[in-house]
Amino acid sequence: MEWSSLKHAVVWFRGILRLHDNPPFFNAANRHELQTILPIYIIDEADYPNGFSNMGDKRRKFLYDSLIDLDQSLRDEYGQGLTVFQGNPSNLLRMIFQNLGPGPNYLFTDYMSEPWKREELDNIEVQINEIGAEMISFPAVNTILDIEETVMSEIYKNPKSMKDIQNILTHRLENGPEGIIVGDPLPAPKSISYDSSAIQKLNSETKISDQIVPLAELKRRSNLLGPSSYFPGGETEALRRLKNKVSERRDFVNSFSKPKTLSTNEAGLPSEPSTTGLSPYLSTGCLSPRTLWKEVTAANLGSKHTKPPTSLHGQLMFREMFHLLSRSVNNWDDDKGNSNCKPIEWGQSDPEALYAWESGMTGFPLIDAMMRQLSTTGWMHHLGRHAVSCFLTRGQLWQNWKHGRDVFERKLLDSDWAVNNGNWLWLAGVAPFSMPYYRVYNPCPDGKSSLNVDAANPEFIRHWVPELSSFPSKYIFEPHLAPIDVQESSKCIIGLDYPLPIVDRKESRRVNIDSFKKNLARIAGRN
């Protein structure tokens, strides 16, 4: 099939909600022989393990706002917007290509490594080939590595450490005096070919038009979900935050050490992360990982700076590690048939404990503040995630890590199937790369805790758990230990205005460490 005979290209913004470093869009735009380019996005229930309707309000709003922002950027740059559909991608794409008329026509889109996403794209390719269209899929659009090519390499082994993933990156990419060299991100296309008649034709076809979500409807849905959280969706905000937190803060980048960042956010700003806050934009494809890598490299150039695993480059490496593992490890999201998950026998599901944990009513103010922050903003610092994950699993409640994984999947703006499962495997203590199971975080930390909590001035707790807003710092992490006169003067009676602890933290820790140890002995005896 000759390129010179091409007529139409559908660019499916699948996992990319941006114009910069967008290989499918860039390549379609630079095929000057194309008569039209149709940029589309499809809201698909199957995109989300727990179903789109079960996503938390903040996640859905972030998506809607990202689509609205992308539509505006397309209009500003190219005079055309984004056509958003809702339905089954296979059926929709087949109808779209049938209505575009005789080709040859092309589908430009991006590879995604989730099992159901790979299967979906394989099926779509077969279907559109049957009607004379061809699909071109681009790898490594939201990762630095080509995931498929890397895991299929004869020398590939599942990474278990930072050293392992560094070796993989060093082998797969070029290296220079400053370390690993990542390819330059692509610019946004200068122009695109556009024919409004293609959109009009689709709108006139009832079966297709019924599945188009107009811009006004996207805005209505977004507005119904309330005001924007601290993290507005979209590429515009992603690039603004990249500039303000990375590009223009070289000292911050060069001294960045993630374990030293505050889990309770910046002093006086309970919603501003002490990290970059860019993870929601990476996970939704509003920001390219190559773009972030390059900005960090530019800040590091000629300066003394931190190194992986604690540096910003190190955090991107961990992300690559989990994406590779999610592709190469069967049943990555399960506790059965998963080579990276020890078969621990967790306790029977406890609905009351799970509800208390998710709603921030455990009686442990740090845990409750973190979980309320998650529900309100869709975000939580990584050390906060450490604390609440440990508390739910091997620390205090002895519940299966998948319960927590599902809550995070619903609520986190930066929820990423590969990374979310990887983090829960890690923090539950069941993965080869996990910390020792007996290293349990104290849910009532002091100023020396590795959770990096501001114990002297715990405004974070007072902000997210307003019941304790007048509590003295001395008792705020264990308010049930405060004398009754202190509770009365603080206008918060524990057990009435704020719950008593749902478990004895010290006794549960002792019992759970013993249970984990016995599970390991059972597993060793069986092997």
344-348: list long-range contacts, CB under 8 Å, 24+ apart: 344/428, 344/429, 344/430, 344/516, 344/519, 345/519, 345/522, 346/393, 346/398, 346/399, 346/400, 346/401, 347/397, 347/398, 347/399
Cis previous bond, 187, omega within 30: no
Q: CA-to-CA distance for 265 and 460, rounded, in angstroms?
A: 8
Average pLDDT over residues 20-49: 87
Class of domain 1-142+201-228: alpha beta
- For residue 102, what pLDDT is reported? 74
**Least trusted range by pLDDT, from 91-95, 137-141, 257-261, 519-523:** 257-261
Q: CA-to-CA distance for 106 and 11, rounded, in angstroms?
A: 8
Mean pLDDT of the residues in the chain: 93
Task: Supply 160's token pair.
Answer: 């278990």
Residue identified by tokens 């001035």 is 457
Q: What pLDDT digit, counting tens, does each position of 58-75 carry?
A: 999 999 999 999 999 999
Q: How far is CA 49 from CA 41, 52, 271, 320, 421, in A?
A: 19, 8, 28, 21, 12
Beta-ladder partners of 109: 137
Q: What pLDDT digit, counting tens, does each position of 300-313 carry?
A: 999 999 999 999 99
* pLDDT beyond 90 at 487: yes
Query: For residue 402, which amino acid is it?
Result: K
- For residue 242, what pLDDT is reported? 98
Instruction: Report angle CA 299, 451, 313 to the nearest 5 degrees.
Output: 25
* pLDDT beyond 80 at 54: no
From 92, 114, 455, 91, select the one nearest 267 (Cα to Cα): 455
Q: CA-to-CA distance for 14 and 114, rounded, in angstroms?
A: 13
**Least trusted range by pLDDT, from 120-129, 200-209, 381-390:** 200-209
Label residue 268 by pLDDT band (50, 70, 90).
Answer: low
- For residue 502, what pLDDT is reported? 98
Label residue 455 by pLDDT band (50, 70, 90).
Answer: confident
Label residue 3 by pLDDT band (50, 70, 90).
Answer: very low
Sequence-distant (≥ 6) Cβ neighbours of residue 246 within 8 angstroms: 252, 253, 276, 278, 292, 295, 296, 299, 312
Helix 365-377 to helix 382-390 angle, to the nearest 10 degrees?
120
Q: What pLDDT digit, counting tens, does each position of 432-445 carry?
A: 999 899 999 999 99
CATH superfamily of the 351-526 domain: DNA Cyclobutane Dipyrimidine Photolyase, subunit A, domain 3 (1.10.579.10)
**Residue ranges covered by each domain of the chain:** 1-142+201-228, 145-181+235-326, 351-526
Class of domain 145-181+235-326: mainly alpha
Q: What pLDDT digit, counting tens, does each position of 345-400 carry?
A: 999 999 999 999 999 999 999 999 999 999 999 999 999 999 999 999 999 999 99
* pLDDT beyond 70 at 52: no
From 366, 345, 348, select the one nearest 428 (Cα to Cα): 345
Average pLDDT over residues 205-231: 91
Average pLDDT over residues 412-423: 96
Average pLDDT over residues 489-514: 98
Average pLDDT over residues 94-99: 91
* pLDDT beyond 80 at 491: yes
What percent of the chain clears pLDDT 70, i.e. is strictly above it? Answer: 95
- With beta carbons less than 8 A apart as the criterion, state whether 39 and 67 touch: no
* pLDDT beyond 50 at 4: no
Label residue 198 by pLDDT band (50, 70, 90).
Answer: confident
Sequence-distant (≥ 6) Cβ neighbours of residue 101 within 8 angstroms: 7, 8
* pLDDT beyond 60 at 315: yes
- For residue 51, what pLDDT is reported? 61
